[in-house]
Amino acid sequence: MRIWVTGGSGALGQELVQRLSSKYPDADLRYPTSSDLNLENFLRVQEFVSEYKPTHVFHLAARVFGVGGHSKTPEASLLANTRIDNSVFDAMFLNPPRWIYYASTVATYGFPYDELPLAETFFLKGTPHESEYGYAMSKRLGLSYLEILEKQHEVGFVYGLSTNLFGHGDRFLNGGGHVIVSLLEKAKKARAESKVLSVWGEPTSSRDFLSTKSAAKIITELVNQNVGIVNIASGQEITIEEISKLICKEFELTNGYEFTHEMQGIPNRVCSIRKLLNFSKYVEEVDSWKEIQEEIRLVANSKN
């Protein structure tokens, strides 16, 4: 078993590499960093894949800018992520693996939603929300590559629609990162400067959150299963206000929080896990609110 993980140094990638190492100790597991293997370099990626010939690929690598970044520069996200996928899939068409996990995003769902929770049967219906358009459209293209590989080379695949992720190792991107990591970044600054915690959106805004640790466990359960399109989510809807209140408590922000009513994006989003339950036993044990509480307390009590 030869396993290639792209994006192995990212928050999800680190957790996944750890899980795979434990589950498949005899596998030839490789997760080169971007400095070792630039995924936008077609020839270098081709050389790597032709020499290594991975049997299993976990394609997690992407350029993620968060709601703020995706809204301001949709073309940058579209171009960067398309270049990465073109390079990776070009190499895999020449040397097809047996199975692929492709990390997509729930941002690819068309908006407005017909109903919540989001079910895979509504995938590709309509156009993604403008706040996530460039990133979402680049990820939609990934499904086409997978379907062609399946048809031409009998490659099994999972097209995982990742919900809002959080966890240790997530990147602080000056407000352009994922929801929870961005709030924690702002909370550190608010505490240091004795200011109000500034929160984007509205008090009623909500999301389906999943820790990178739980996501890695779920993804590992899907190995060698030809699942197709599936939500990688918790199925639990949590409001941004609930999180903001807890952050203020744990960081002891006496000035509280305020919503800016900016960067609203999609008001509410929660995912159906009905299909995922057919392939993953662990998802039944997921308690995202508990994991969010633990992450906030960990960061609030850290010295950094």
What is the domain partition of the chain in residue ranges? 2-166+209-232, 179-206+236-270+286-301
Long-range contacts of 170-178 (CB under 8 A, 24+ apart): 170/11, 170/212, 171/10, 171/11, 173/65, 173/66, 173/69, 175/66, 175/68, 176/65, 176/66, 176/68, 176/69, 177/64, 177/66, 178/64, 178/66
Q: How far is CA 101 from CA 65, 225, 289, in A?
A: 22, 10, 26
In the chain, % of residues over pLDDT 90: 83
- State the pTM of this model: 0.92
d(CA 248, CA 242): 10
Whether the bond into 97 is cis, omega within 30 of 0: no
Q: Give the residue-averaged pLDDT of 201-210.
A: 92
The predicted structure's pLDDT at residue 174: 44
Does the domain at residues 2-166+209-232 carry the CATH identifier 3.30.360.10?
no
**Burial environment of residue 95 by CB neighbours within 10 A (0 to 12, 13 to 18, 19 or more):** middle
Longest CA span, the chain: 61
At residue 178 the predicted structure's pLDDT band, cuts being 50, 70 and 90, is confident
Residues 93 and 228: beta-carbon distance below 8 Å: no
The predicted structure's pLDDT at residue 45: 97
> 270-300, pLDDT tens digit by residue?
999 999 999 999 999 999 999 999 999 999 9
Q: Is the pLDDT of residue 183 over 50?
A: yes
The predicted structure's pLDDT at residue 201: 82
Multiple choice CATH, 179-206+236-270+286-301, 3.90.25.10, 1.20.210.10, 3.10.450.50, 1.20.120.1770? 3.90.25.10
Higher-confidence residue: 262 or 249? Answer: 249
Q: How far is CA 47 from CA 2, 98, 134, 221, 226, in A?
A: 16, 19, 29, 30, 27
Cα 276 vs. chain centroid, distance in angstroms?
Answer: 16
